[in-house]
Copies of this chain bind each other. A is one copy, B any other.
């Protein structure tokens, strides 16, 4: 996929991943590019997150991004901070910018020192081009496929997004890395102010296993080279972010199905988000979806403990567009509905009957494979 104007990217294999697959990704953007940044709320956040937060406080512009996969450089003490700074220096040297102009990110196993020497040896093999595909592959860990999305605005400006996910995925950033690149010229203050709201409605509504990771971030970069209207711009940004969020959920560890939960009729949007996330994250509902069991009792129970205000007798639940609960049990064809659940996407639509709040959340089914991946391998 072609990057917007002003961006180049590339990747290399630095042998951090034992598989020898690409694990070093670099991106360069023209001088003066703006950015907006959000990262994990985990208190054991990795050095890259601590550094990124500090950088975001003091710098309005950004020139580069370096990501290594296979090692999270988290819980690695003082050495981890030094290794992260060194990663920035190596990337800055290669990109021909200052270290303070480069954002770092690491994803992978926790608690193992980052072998920076391997990156130093292999970084020269990176070739920067106008395509994002190599970068997209090099940031993956247990993901089974690359995650890309794009939109073009009236006037020609573009928004291109790339992400990785898979495990340790839960609202408030997870093992997730998500980057959006745009050439649309948007004022710095607006970019910083509105990005968190987009993230709250998209990446923070993804849940795979309830585990919030130490290294997550969602960042938007703007080269500002193409004129654009703010309205269509934010629509495109949200569409790309939402698309990536769905791809992350669909490729959750061991997942066979994407679960989409749509809530309306909540007292407010915050309640709607809570309700949607609770259903998408319920281990019991995720297992029922895996087994094609239209067990609405588990949906109702999850709504009940979500924290969202509701009265069970006003709630309506539909599954694959079939009404299955309407303030109480309603008759439905269980065999036909179970067959309808044998699909790549299972959609639960909920009306809480209380107000105007609406939201979506995305998750995946819970499979034996999830347990296998996470009990038999150190990830």
Say if the beta carbon of A42 comes within 8 Å of chain B: yes
Say if the beta carbon of A74 comes within 8 Å of chain B: yes
Supply 22 A–B pairs (Cβ within 8 Å), ascending by A: A43-B303, A43-B308, A43-B309, A43-B312, A44-B300, A44-B301, A44-B303, A76-B328, A110-B298, A111-B300, A209-B283, A209-B284, A211-B302, A212-B305, A214-B300, A214-B301, A283-B370, A283-B374, A284-B374, A290-B375, A291-B377, A371-B371
Q: How many copies does the complex hold?
A: 2
Question: Would you give the 0/1 interface string for A93-111, flagging 1 where the beta carbon is closer than 8 Å to chain B?
Answer: 0000000000000000111
Q: Are B371 and A329 in contact (CB under 8 A)?
A: no
Q: Which of A113, A213, A283, A300 has the most CB of B within 10 A?
A: A283
Docked Cα-Cα span, A213 to B112, in Å, equals 39
Inside 8 A of A293's CB, which chain B residues have their CB? 375, 378
**Cβ-defined partner of A367 (8 Å) among B45, B170, B303, B371:** B371
If the complex has contacts A111-B296, A293-B375, A295-B378, are A304 and B44 also in contact, measured as CB distance less than 8 A?
Answer: yes
7 closest A-B pairs by CB: A110-B297, A291-B375, A44-B304, A287-B374, A77-B328, A212-B305, A42-B304
Chain A residues 56 to 98 lying within 8 A of chain B, measured CB to CB, are 72, 74-77
Inside 8 A of A376's CB, which chain B residues have their CB? 291
Question: Would you give the 0/1 interface string for A139-179, flagging 1 where the beta carbon is closer than 8 Å to chain B?
Answer: 00000000000000000000000000001101010000000
Question: Would you give the 0/1 interface string for A261-284, flagging 1 where the beta carbon is closer than 8 Å to chain B?
Answer: 000000000000000000001111
**Cβ-defined partner of A301 (8 Å) among B110, B288, B311, B325:** B110
If the complex has contacts A212-B305, A301-B211, A305-B211, are A329 and B375 also in contact, measured as CB distance less than 8 A?
Answer: no
Query: How many residues on chain A are close to B (CB under 8 Å)?
Result: 68
Q: Are A327 and B77 in contact (CB under 8 A)?
A: yes
If the complex has contacts A109-B297, A111-B297, are A214 and B304 also in contact, measured as CB distance less than 8 A?
Answer: yes
Say if the beta carbon of A310 comes within 8 Å of chain B: yes
Say if the beta carbon of A210 comes within 8 Å of chain B: yes
Say if the beta carbon of A318 comes within 8 Å of chain B: no
Say if the beta carbon of A372 comes within 8 Å of chain B: yes
User: Chain B: which residue is nearest A41 at the CB level?
Assistant: B305
Within the complex, what minimum Cβ distance (angstroms) separates A43 from chain B?
4
User: Chain B: which residue is nearest A254 at the CB level?
Assistant: B371
**Cβ-defined partner of A370 (8 Å) among B72, B109, B209, B371:** B371
Question: Would you give the 0/1 interface string for A19-58, flagging 1 where the beta carbon is closer than 8 Å to chain B?
Answer: 0000000000000000000000111110000000000000
